[in-house]
Amino acid sequence: MTSHHLLPVILCGGSGTRLWPLSRETYPKQFLALSGNGVSMLQDTALRLNGLSSAITKAAPLVVCNAEHRFLAAQQLHDAGLQGAQLVLEPVGRNTAPALTLAALAAQPRAIMLAMPADHVMTQPEKLHRAVEAAWPLAQEGAMVTFGIVANRPETGYGYIQKAQPIQDVDAFGIQSFEEKPSQELAQAYVDSGNYLWNSGLFMVRADQWIKAMEALQPTMLQACRNAMSQSSRDMDFIRPHADIFAACPADSIDYAVMEHLPGNDILGIPARVVPLDAGWSDLGAWDALWDVLPHDANGNAHTGHTLAIDTSDSLLFSESRLVAAVGVDHIVVVETPDAVLVADKRRTQDVKKIVAELKAQKRSLASSHRKVHRPWGWYDSIDSGERFQVKRIVVNPGASLSLQMHHHRAEHWIVVKGTAEVTNGDKVLLLGENESTFIPLGHVHRLTNPGRVPLEIIEVQSGSYLGEDDIVRFEDTYGRVAPAVQTSRAA
């Protein structure tokens, strides 16, 4: 590999509260397939550079994500056919500047990092390729490059970049200033001038130049990241910075911590550059932004799932499990999931985060988790429950296994619906095919494994005096969860 290679750094934090009820803390928007192409936003981001000029040597991506999402991120990258990716696991979120610093410390010093948030949409990735190729020589020479979205309307929800002088022989500009989110009148003036671009949150910079900028501008933040990485641990493809040290790191964005200090600052010797980008970009910050990027019917409605609209216009109807029907309404958003339904004025979707805040204040789990719960081995969905019973649909990935475990308060019946199950039940090991079943008595040590090449699907019927997810003692676990102990609020 040459001394300069492109390292895609995917920033995969965030909870996406304005896209509730679909996006929740345990399964936020970057892991959802929202834009209609069948892949998650993380997968779309990781695949976005396919087709980039062969003159640029591209490494496997480095993903910075929440430690709680590590298996979800790894599985999605694997499913997308991406091999060799590394995942740096943030024990707590500290915004994008510390996240990029962790990536720079894990990278080769001369690697050119392309920082990409995992929750953005670009409908024309080939235009991103041209912009990256324009930025490449600038980053090689030591510049910090951001990508400014060509503004097609006055937008008060974005920051703006004021262009300075054009850069010779490259489709890029110097940067005069960064401007905060403007009023409607000022946003219109920015667009009319043709001299301002939206701040996209995409950056390209050499790893050693980023560290140099952090040393000068954010030494406390850099030292915390260095200390956390120097005492990090590694397992599989995961890099785990020291949790307590990283938790003490100041939080700030790439823009505020570094980028906005560079224009006119010749002391650092790090030029700030902006490359215009017009690639069908959206940050999908709220439901109205998703309405913008989805196809519309003749009345301006966007549909996902089983929906029906009569005498309805300019609305978003989103269904996961049931028919969503609308009659005689305009400018609304209806989002249906198996455990929650959102109805909102499309012009007020930024306020959906207030619902999440209220649910948290009421200590309701709907703020953070879905009925369908993802685990390292697959997922389960609690499809019915009542006094002394609960029914779950469980899907186990090929080759995956639940922990070797037991329960103090419940017995379980397992019925195989699809695939093959290897069942440890006390001192016996059984192989069950479709339509076969077994009974796990209370107190029996047991394990469920999928030895096949297709997903294993079972129906589990629990019965007993207590059915909470904290009634589990693990004896062995492939995924490094603490054992043996009672695992509070953790499922199999």
State yes or no: pLDDT of 36 exceeds 80: no
CATH fold of 372-476 reads Jelly Rolls (2.60.120)
CATH fold of 6-282 reads Spore Coat Polysaccharide Biosynthesis Protein SpsA; Chain A (3.90.550)
What tokens appear for 119 in the block? 């929750």
Which percentage of the chain shows pLDDT scores above 90?
85
Q: For the chain, what is the mean pLDDT? A: 93
State yes or no: pLDDT of 143 exceeds 80: yes
Give which of 182, 6, 210, 262 is closest to 99, Cα–Cα: 210
State yes or no: pLDDT of 37 exceeds 80: no
Give the residue-averaged pLDDT of 155-176.
Answer: 93
Domains of the chain, residue spans = 6-282, 287-365, 372-476
Q: Which pLDDT band, with edges at 50, 70 and 90, does 4 fall under?
A: confident
- pLDDT reported for residue 267: 77
pLDDT in tens, 167-205: 988 999 999 999 999 999 999 999 999 999 999 999 999
- pLDDT reported for residue 171: 93
Report the DSSP pairing between strands 272-277 and 144-150.
parallel
Q: Facing residues of 175 across strands?
A: 163
Q: Which pLDDT band, with edges at 50, 70 and 90, does 484 fall under?
A: very low
DSSP designation for 316: E
State yes or no: pLDDT of 27 exceeds 50: yes
pLDDT in tens, 254-273: 999 999 999 988 778 899 99
The torsion of the CA quartet 125, 130, 134, 140, rounded to 10 degrees, works out to: 60
- pLDDT reported for residue 392: 96
Q: Is 325 left (phi over 0), alpha (psi -120 to 50) or beta?
A: beta
Q: How far apart are CA 71 and CA 84, in angstroms?
A: 15
Q: Which pLDDT band, with edges at 50, 70 and 90, does 7 fall under?
A: very high
- pLDDT reported for residue 478: 79
CA 159, 164, 167 angle in degrees (round to 5)? Answer: 120
Half-sphere exposure of 458 (CA within 13 A, CB side): 26
Q: How far apart are CA 164 and CA 421, in angstroms?
A: 64
What tokens appear for 56 in the block? 């640029």
Give which of 238, 239, 245, 208 is closest to 223, Cα–Cα: 245
- Give the predicted TM-score (pTM) of the model: 0.88
| 219-230 vs 207-217: helix crossing angle, rounded to 10 | 130
Give the residue-averaged pLDDT of 425-430.
Answer: 94
Q: Do domains 6-282 and 372-476 have the same CATH topology?
A: no
Q: How far apart are CA 456 and CA 421, in angstroms?
A: 7
DSSP-assigned states of every residue in 274-301: EEEE-S-EE---SHHHHHHHS---TTS-
State yes or no: pLDDT of 2 exceeds 80: no
Give the residue-averaged pLDDT of 116-137.
Answer: 95
State yes or no: pLDDT of 64 exceeds 50: yes
Instruction: Report whether 326 contacts 297 (CB < 8 A).
Output: no
Q: How far apart are CA 333 and CA 316, in angstroms?
A: 5
